[in-house]
Chains A and B, each alone.
Chain A
Amino acid sequence: MTVVDEPARSAQPEAAEPVLEARRVTKHFKVRDGAGRASVVQAVEEVDLALRPGRIVALVGESGSGKTTLARLLARFYPVTDGEIRLRDVAAAGRPDKAYHRSVQLIFQDPFGSLHPGHKISYNLERPLRIHGHATNRSQARQQAAELLERVGLIPATDFLDKLPHELSGGRRQRVVIARALAVRPEVLLGDEPISMLDVSIRLDMLNLLARLRDEEDLALLYITHDIASARYLCDDVAVMYAGQMIESGPKEAVIQQPMHPYTRLLVAASPDPSRRRAADGDDLDSLDAGPDEPPSLIDPPTGCRFHPRCPFAMDECRVQLPEPTTFGDGRWARCWLHQKGRSHELIPAAH
């Protein structure tokens, strides 16, 4: 395998080579408003991301931050505007879809819309097995479909093969969706909020299943979520997006317990934590009440660091340009002018 000339920020000496990588990926969508005027949604701006076998990266951020767009770019749902997606260090552009999707599978949020409602579970699973040539006849396909169900904890499989999707609960349906993604024997699973539509009491079960697929089958996983606590529970690394820009990334405990970007700090401080009682009365976020309270429009996003209109530390540079990443060891980096200006310490007091 060729040696990859990786940007310093994602280099982890002992880490495995990435299976799937986004390099400086940008996506702009052309849209028309009600009056027919064309404009451009700058959904993802120069984003880097690397997924490695046996590791889970959590991609976190608010709605509209570009998480889903990035996942769909990685799954080649649409082409990149600029930059490159590389699978096993080969450019993804131009490869046949079928071959690509044999390696990279995307799981959607909604387990109700992801399965063919008119066909049995067996059909939903056997179809990808047949299409991708893993099963050559009916009995082989059925046998493999049963094995897939067992791998995702639907045991005994014979109880589920002949059911229609609507006969299963949401949690079981999402397991079938995962089983179907596994049918092609992928190297990468991209999960776009895979648990957010499930009942609270069965979400952990699903997270434990994803962790098992990482540990036992060495899958590379992307876990997209807005729930920092579940990201911390499941993943190895966290990448934080804000308004289309990737602003911080690194090992989960480093990023969550001592954020190095003001937005990450805000996101962690705002997340519910059962062990923090009535922090809400402590008014620890008062400084934020002054600025705009929600992410900007991506049709006309703020210049420079897109977080600057909400940032308590904003300075002139922030309005002009997003700084290059500052690295902190462990493969951790953040893109914030505070670090460039030697003011990193100002972020630390409020960190947990």
Chain B
Amino acid sequence: MTRPDTDDDLLLEVEGLSVAYQAERPVTACDGIDLQLRRGEILGVAGESGSGKSTLITALTRLQRPPASTTAGRILLHDQGRTVDLVGMTEDELRRYRWNTVSIVLQSAMDALNPVLRLGSQFADVIRANDPDVTTRTVLDRTTELLAMVGIPANRIRSYPHELSGGMRQRAMIALALACGPKLVVMDEPTTAVDVVMQRRIVRQILRLRRQLGFAVVFVTHDLSLLLELADRIAIMYAGRIVEIGTADQIYHRPRHPYTRGLRDSFPPLHAPLTRLQGIPGSPPNLVRLPPGCAFAPRCPEAIDACHDARPALRIIEDQQVACHLYDVADRDDVDDVAMSR
């Protein structure tokens, strides 16, 4: 397992996290997830529907409800010189971390905001929950300041959510998530419901606010091309597991896992010369009936015998992490050949 140079730098460590949906036959939606997040880092999580990326988000924020439950693993949060494990915490204990340490931005702001409360009172709720003694004046000033950060004028404080445009609601959600100065903001497809122009604006605001305020982000989406522009590092999920982690540059220029490569090549370029692209044959697997080996093997153009027999573990290949039997040969020259031949 990789560790950054200094442990002070680490904000979050996820170790062996598994989440299952309890049913007649339990479905493991996240299977042995290992992740590290540094302070101020933007980690993108890319995957298709059913890859477990949203399940991972609700597990990280401990917002999951039955039938989902965390069946194994730890979520270690390093903050103010202490390390806590979010997995074992009660709801009361968690409350001390919500909003001011970990906050969340959901996909549909219309559903996440209370439709019958004005924007201002929703901000007041959050600010007061963190600091009950704060004056009305301070609440108003703070709300104005937060909304200004995302380009929403102060006269919107008295608006109801339905009076705002979709893009404005989404930005209000981001402002709300930042209300108590969190160290980590978890974002679940925050831009899929808005148009590309607004999406670009939100992405730029996230980057600018991160630079100003220094929070870390876990950003989940199916849109890898968006992550390539936004994220520092990207984790690729497939069928409930992480199959590769690398920097945005590595994922784009030197994807190691055949699935990552297929996913990258599923996004036609906007300006580069056009070539015929193939996508990935077949469909994502059904989590109830996963193959015994690598879940991607049935669709993989390079699958070898080992792929059908055993699940590959996520391990370090040079400075990337990849779960693929093609890299079983320990010899570094070979590894480079495999990567370079792509």
Contact = CB atoms under 8 A, between A and B. Distances in A.
A270 interface: yes
Interface size grouping (class) on chain A: 35 or more
Contact of B269 (A169, A199, A273): A273
A203 interface: yes
B283 interface: yes
Interface string A181-217: 0000000000000000001111111001000000000
Given A201-B48, A226-B196, A293-B197, A169 B167 contact: no
A274 B267 contact: yes
B196 A280 contact: no
Interface in A263-279: 266-279
Interface string A235-250: 0000000000000000
Interface string A252-292: 00001100000000111111111111111101010011000
A216 B331 CA distance: 48
A226 B204 contact: no
Contact of A229 (B228, B249, B268): B268
Contacts of B229: 272-274, 276-280
B26 interface: no
Contact of B225 (A62, A229, A269): A229
B248 interface: yes
Contact of B263 (A201, A271, A272): A201
Contact of B266 (A204, A271, A280): A204
B119 to A, nearest CB: 17
Interface residues of B, number: 48
Q: What is the predominant secondary structure among interface residues of chain A facing chain B?
A: helix
A233 B268 contact: yes
A63 interface: yes
Given A199-B284, A200-B263, A294-B166, A229 B195 contact: no
Interface of B: 48-49, 151, 165-168, 195-201, 203-204, 207, 222-226, 228-230, 248-249, 252, 262-272, 274, 276-281, 283-284
Interface of A: 62-63, 169-172, 199-205, 208, 226, 228-230, 232-233, 256-257, 266-281, 283, 285, 288-289, 293-295, 352
17 contacts: A199-B49, A199-B283, A200-B263, A202-B279, A203-B279, A205-B278, A208-B276, A233-B274, A256-B271, A271-B200, A272-B225, A273-B270, A277-B248, A288-B197, A288-B201, A294-B166, A294-B195
